[in-house]
Amino acid sequence: MSDGPNGDSEIPAEQRLLAYLDGLREHPPQPRANLVAAVMRTARWQAAARPYLAAMGSLAGALGAGVSVLVGARGRG
């Protein structure tokens, strides 16, 4: 079994394959220049919206709990 790239225990075919794969390593795909800006734009609005979303979640939870209390009280009444 192989030990890794350019290790000494690889079979000849693996050594040749690794040489071909080196060609891929030497020519890496590059992201577009605006990738960071796109990530940060989304991160910023999500960070800004997070407290509101959390508040809405809490409100929805409280409403749900209130409704279940009312329904429970009516059921017992």
Partner 1 sequence: MDPDRALVDRAVAGDLAAFEALVERHRDVVFRVAARTVGRDEAEDVCQDAFLRAFHRLPSFRREAPFRTWLLRITHNAALNHLARRRPEPVESVEPLVEDADPDGARTPAERLEGRERRERLEGKVRLLSPAHRAVLVLRDIEGLTYEEIADVTQSPLGSVKGRLHRARAELIEMLRRNTYDWELPT
Binding residues for partner 1 (CB under 8 A) = 1-2, 4-5, 12-14, 16-18, 20-21, 23-25, 27-32, 35-36, 38-40, 42-44, 46-47
Closest distance of CB 8 from partner 1, Å: 15
56, amino acid identity: M
Q: Which is nearer to partner 1, 51 or 77 (CB)?
A: 51
Q: Which is nearer to partner 1, 12 or 77 (CB)?
A: 12
Q: What is the 3-state secondary structure (H, E, C) of 11-71?
A: CHHHHHHHHHHHHHHHCCCCCCCCHHHHHHHHHHHHHHHHHHHHHHHHHHHHHHHHHHHHH
Closest distance of CB 57 from partner 1, Å: 14
